[in-house]
Amino acid sequence: MNGDWLLLGRDGRLSVYLPSDDAALWRAERVPAGAWEAPRRIGGDREVRPDGLAAGRGPDGYTHLVTWRRTGAGRCDLVHTTHFRPLLAPLDWQPAGHPNKQGDRTGTPAVAVDAQGRAHVFVRNGGGGMSMVAQQEKGGWEPWRDLKGRGVQESPAAVTADSGLVELYAPVEGGILHWRQDKPGERPVLGERLDAAVRPGTLRALATSAEHTTAFFTDDDTGELCAWRPGEKPAPLVPAAGPGPVSAVRTVIDGHDCTLVAQRSAAAGRVAFAAYPSELEEVGASWTESGPALPADATVSLTLDADARLVAATLSPSSGQLLLSRRKDEAGLALGAWEAV
């Protein structure tokens, strides 16, 4: 799953999205902070590939999902759907095309939604660069655009800044490339490159202030979880707790704007949390573990609910177990008991 998979819907209910054998599934709360529905299949009986589901939430509270669908021997195209409200089924999968017009899967997509509610889909193309397709305001898709770049690897990270403009971070051999829009609807422009030993599969991005987005990654040379904002040097934050990506969210802790990151700990298998004042990585952070030991394939996702209360979830594909914890109504970062849903 590329991007956060625990998302808040327009009606205040939480949903989770997950790939399955030949489908994408979703579950939703029946009522906010209440019991959950059973998993349901997205897009009816149409089969999709499980290796590359991406999700992004728009400022309107709608979730946009993108994945690959087989169209023939050695051929695939990307498909897209919108989920308007957690208790309503998402729309059927609709074709979004292929970065090279036709061919096989080229990479894991990423999706971000701008201030006008238009999905922007990014994926590596067959030449190793980055391509993008965006929704038109009145429906349908604009032509595919080649955003350039070379040696793009799997799992880019798309993010919508507080301005409503879309940005993209993509790992390449020996570093990270960054693209950003200058104006709504414009083609994102390739900008700064960071030279770093990025551990594969660890790149995430978050809007961390009104002016900036921040990319998080694990430095494969040092084992440090690092934060990078274009125009600045990367800042080591804390030794990575485990091998996978972090989930990150901004939240208020004791009156302070903080960034919270979470990751499955390789040592104990529990969820590790670390918080620090947003964009002040030099202050440092330390891990605090919570919950039971989880399978090695468990991932973590963070969001804020309709009351701006932190919610953390873990999901293990091998066991199918979804666990959820909410922040207690008290000082500090105290989480309630983890419950299976």
CA–CA separation, 260 vs 277, rounded Å? 9
Q: What is the DSSP string of 82-133?
A: EE-STTSPPPPPEEEE-TTSS-S--S--EEEE-TTS-EEEEEE-TTSSEEEE
Give the CB-side neighbour count of residue 178, counting CA atoms within 13 A.
Answer: 20
Which band of pLDDT confidence, cut at 50, 70 and 90, is reported for residue 63?
very high
255-292 pLDDT, tens digit each: 999 999 999 999 999 999 999 999 999 999 999 999 99
Domains, the chain, ordered by start = 1-140 (2.120.10.10)
Question: HSE (CB half, 13 Å, CA atoms) of 152?
Answer: 30
The length of the chain, given as a count of residues? 341
For 188-197, how does the pLDDT look when each residue is reduced to its tens digit (9 = 90+)?
999 999 999 9
- Per the CB < 8 A criterion, the answer to whether 193 and 176 are in contact is yes
- pLDDT average, residue stretch 70-84: 95
Instruction: Check whether 325 has a pLDDT greater than 90.
Output: yes
End-to-end CA distance of the chain: 19
The confidence score (pLDDT) of residue 170 equals 98
Q: What is the pTM of this model?
A: 0.96
How do 75-83 and 94-97 pair as beta strands?
Answer: antiparallel
Residue 90 has pLDDT above 90, yes or no: yes
Please give the pLDDT value at position 139.
82
Q: Kindly tell me if the per-residue pLDDT of 251 is higher than 90.
A: yes
- What does the pLDDT average to over 227-244? 96
Report helix, strand or coil for 328.
coil
Whether pLDDT at 214 is above 90:
yes
Categorize the per-residue pLDDT at 318 as very low, low, confident or very high, splitting at 50, 70 and 90: confident
pLDDT of 221 over the 90 cut: yes
Weakest mean pLDDT among 23-32, 153-162, 317-326: 317-326
Predicted confidence (pLDDT) at residue 130 exceeds the cutoff of 90: yes
Residue 175 reports pLDDT greater than 90: yes
Average pLDDT, the chain: 95
Q: How many CB atoms lie within 10 A of CB 73?
A: 6
pLDDT tens for 16-42 read: 999 888 899 999 999 999 999 999 999
Q: Which residues pair with 70 in a beta bridge?
A: 76
Predicted pLDDT of residue 46: 83
User: What proportion of the chain, given as a percentage, has pLDDT over 90?
Assistant: 90
DSSP 182-208: SSTTSPPEEEEEEE--BPTT--EEEE-
Tokens of 334: 């105290």
Whole-angstrom Cα Rg for the chain: 19
pLDDT at 1: 87
Q: Which one, of 172, 168, 165, 126, lies nearest residue 149 by Cα? A: 172
Q: Residue 138's pLDDT is what?
A: 81
Q: What percent of the chain has pLDDT over 70?
A: 100
